[in-house]
Structure 1
Amino acid sequence: MRRLISMMGILFICLFTFTSVSLAQHSHGGMSTGGSMKMDTKEVL
């Protein structure tokens, strides 16, 4: 049971870091990377 909880925690941390990095990239890219931004949001969902 503890292993499952730890795995879920690691997955949550990885997901959080991935979303923060992707958001940072999008804010830097601006309107030039509008198409890739939409694709990224679809992949996340």
Structure 2
Amino acid sequence: MLNKTQTPQFGLARNSLGNISEPRCLVQIDTDTSQITPSIGIVVDF
């Protein structure tokens, strides 16, 4: 398996309610994709 280096991702800092914190500042977002996370999706087509 090859280890790919990824550039860090940044976003605005948020509080526990999901609102953007003041003063606004950037925080690094964890983008670790090495773990397999199962997901379930539902598609409804009319």
TM more than 0.5: no
Larger RCO of the pair (alpha carbons < 8 Å, separation 6+): 2
The alignment's TM-score, normalised by the length of structure 2, stands at: 0.20
Larger radius of gyration: 2
Structure with bigger helix share is 1
The alignment's TM-score, normalised by the length of structure 1, stands at: 0.20
